[in-house]
Structure 1
Amino acid sequence: MGHHHHHEVSGKNLFITIILNVIITLAQIIGGFISGSLALLSDAMHNFSDVLSLVVAWIANRLAARPGDTSKTFGYKRAEIIAALFNASLLMGIAIFLIIEAVQKFFHPLPIDSVWVIWLGLLSVILNSLSVFLVKEDAHENMNIKAAYLHLLTDVATSVAVVVGGLLMQWWHIYWIDPVISIFIAFYLIWASFDIIKESVFILMQFAPKEIDLQKIAEDVSQIAGIENVHHIHIWRLNDHDLFFEAHVDFSSDLKLKEVMKKMEKIEKVLKEKYHISHVTLQPEYRRNDTKELVVSP
């Protein structure tokens, strides 16, 4: 069995980043309502999505470290996948709502207090840039934090767009620019959320990772001397880094248990080194009359 030692996310930097994003979100929601700017509200939702993903990264990092017990043999490894699915679905809903609002506002534009838009957009640019700097180090090691880090980078970009929109409204009174920026941010949220939803569902449905070729694995294992074939394969991800594999292995001769163990260790080595599979369960067989298909539904 392979054991991963995951990088401990530094709680302090993450906590500061969460606080900064809560400040931006609240300021932009209040400013959005006061100024009548939908772009500010959209940017607030974008920042709120960061708060969610950072909180999830932090909680999931703590939960995933908890050991399993007799009633939870896998521990809490899937906590972050379930949370990511919930977050992304929530954001998808918010984004669709924003698009509907923006379309209505586009055809009936109202004057917007652009001073609020400009200053709160600038606040978001500054605080998000600081957040990017704070989590940069952890983003190299932790996939969850990396996702949050990329979110923060796009936040800087959307906030710049909000500031530009604010300036256009201030100088030229082009109020329809506000719903247009809002729609762009909302579509970005849908695009980003869709990927997370798809990935989370694939993991929860125990689909084999796209990059793994079962036929190739079977060929590689069958090339080991004394192995006739490998069949009845199941491969799945527990979370975004732990890959599990189980299969029946046909031996070409009636070996002693000690010899069987040696062959199985060779198989494990191939699976680990070539396919990065961390947990392997094999069922050795000799002249067993079962279906030899690669994949057999349980």
Structure 2
Amino acid sequence: MSAGHSHGQVRAGHEKKLLMALGLTTGFMIAEVIGAWITGSLALLSDAAHMFTDSAALAISLMAFQIAKRPADRNRTFGYARFEILASAFNAILLFLVALYILYEAYQRLFNPSAIQSTGMLIVAVLGLVVNLISMRLLGAASGESLNVKGAYLEVWSDMLGSIGVIVAAIVIRYTGWAWVDSLVAAAIGLWVLPRTWTLLRESMNVLLEGVPNGIDLDKVEQAILSVTGVQAVHDLHVWSVTSGKNVMSVHVVISQSSMDGQSILASITALVTEQFEIGHCTIQLEHDGFHDDDHSADDHHEDGHLHHS
């Protein structure tokens, strides 16, 4: 089985899980909006708003997977894989704005509390928790393999915490009558979500800005290349990601004049960085000692790493 085929199967599995989570989340989001309207609970509305962003995030993630399947062409030589990262960035921004809105509404409600039907609020919140737990189980494993899925997972994860908060608020309001607890829980949900949303946005922006992928130390990559027999120096080393799990490297490698077997060195470097750093696409330029930028001779060799993951 080829690496590309295996990667395609993994993505297909991600899509199936996203679709199942989307059906669960959207269906309950509608019920939760109705419940928030009936009970008058801001905490429940906050949870419903997060459910809405969950549905949007899951739908966008599914669309991103479909677009990312499109093959590379002359205009987009890496294909459309990066659309997944654009989707994760959009999801992060959307959730960030929703969290800010909920914080604002919670602040307003502290001064103008409204009557809340705690029993209905509790029932809806418990059902929401069940839906969130199912969705989290569906997306949990895949969240470590794709930033796109991770964004959707964080949305559902924050909703799970929100549902727990709403359940606590409903119980407190039922037995104490403290309506302000509803606003307090809504604000707590917003504050809990913001830093995690920022982390997702930062990771997405790092990919879009072609930064070094998380978990890869550029100095260690350089030292690994230098450890290959025949390699004298390394320069113009670049490592970045096209999308989650698709790392790319380009580098100029200086070899000694006595190293005549350039293909062997290329193969060794490619195998080393693929195994140690999960870099599946390598472009390596070999240069002999004394090579100058203005003296391109037959000693200048190019090799495009043959290990592609699409």
- Are residue 30 (structure 1) and residue 31 (structure 2) matched? no
8 Å contact 2:142–2:150 — kept in the other structure? yes
For residue 52 of structure 2, what is the aligned residue in structure 1? 48
Question: Deviation per CA, 1:124-163, whole angstroms, max 9, x where unpaired?
Answer: 1233334345556756765644553454344333212212
Q: Distance in 2 between matches of 1:182 and 1:192?
A: 16
Structure 1 residues 217 and 160: CA distance shift in structure 2, 3 A: closer
Q: Distance in 2 between matches of 1:40 and 1:117?
A: 7
Displacement over 6 Å in runs of 4+: none
Query: Which residues of structure 1 form unaligned runs of 5+?
Result: 292-298
C-alpha RMSD of the superposition: 2.5
Partner of 1:17: 21
- Larger mean Cα displacement after TM superposition, 267-276 or 120-129: 120-129
1:96 corresponds, among 87, 91, 100, to 100
1:252 matched to 2:294? The reply is no
Verify: 1:283 aligned to 2:300, yes or no: no
SS at match of 2:228: coil
CA 1:144–1:171 in 2, change beyond 3 Å: closer, same or farther? Answer: same
Letter in 1 for 2:256: S
User: More displaced, 69-78 or 128-137?
Assistant: 128-137
- Correspondence for 1:220: 224
SS at match of 2:13: coil
Task: Confirm or deny that 1:274 pairs with 2:251.
Answer: no
Given that 1:218 and 1:230 are in contact with CA atoms closer than 8 Å, whether structure 2 keeps it comes out as yes
For residue 192 of structure 1, report the CA deviation from its aligned partner: 2.2
Whichever residue aligns with residue 109 of structure 2, its letter is: K
Q: Distance in 1 between matches of 2:14 and 2:241?
A: 26
Q: Residue 65 and residue 168 in structure 1: after superposition, are their counterparts in 2 closer, same or farther (change >3 A)?
A: same
Looking at structure 1, the residues matched to 214 and 143 of structure 2 have their Cα atoms a distance apart, in angstroms, of 24
Summarize the Cα distance change of 1:4–1:264 in structure 2 as closer, same or farther, 3 Å threshold.
Answer: farther
TM-score w.r.t. length of structure 1: 0.86
Instruction: Give, in angstroms, the shift of residue 42 of structure 1.
Output: 1.0
Deviation at 1:103, TM superposition (A): 1.3
Deviations 1:31-52 (A, max 9, x none): 3233321101111122223223
1:5 to 2:6 alignment: yes
- Tell me, what secondary structure is at the counterpart of 1:41? helix
Does the 8 Å CA contact 1:46/1:185 hold for their aligned counterparts?
Answer: no
Are the structure 2 counterparts of residues 127 and 219 from structure 1 closer, same or farther at C-alpha, using a change threshold of 3 Å?
closer
Structure 1 CA distance for aligned equivalents of residues 258 and 128 of structure 2: 69
Q: Which amino acid aligns with 1:77?
A: A
In 1, the alpha carbon distance for the partners of 2:131 and 2:281 equals: 42
Q: Helix, strand or coil for the counterpart of 1:283?
A: strand
Q: Which digits, 9 at most, give the CA deviation of each residue in 1:148-187, with x for residues without a partner? A: 3454344333212212211222222110100111011111
Give the gaps of 5 or more residues in structure 2: 295-310
Counterparts in 2 of 1:124-135, with a 5 A limit? 124-135=128-139
The answer to whether the 8 A contact 2:135-2:156 is kept is yes
> What amino acid is the match of 2:247?
L
Q: Deviation of residue 236 (structure 1)?
A: 0.6
Residues 248 and 53 of structure 1, relative CA distance in 2, 3 Å threshold: same
For residue 116 of structure 2, what is the aligned residue in structure 1? 112
CA offset at residue 220 of structure 1? 2.2
Amino acid at match of 1:35: T
Tell me the residue number matched to 1:68: 72
Comparing 269-278 and 122-131, the one that deviates more = 122-131
Q: Secondary structure at the match of 2:249?
A: strand
Name the residue aligned to 2:209: 205
* Cα distance change of structure 1 residues 222 and 12 upon mapping to structure 2, 3 Å threshold: closer
| 1:196–1:47 distance in 2 versus 1, CA, 3 Å | same
TM superposition shift of 1:270: 1.3
Percent of aligned pairs sharing the same letter:
31
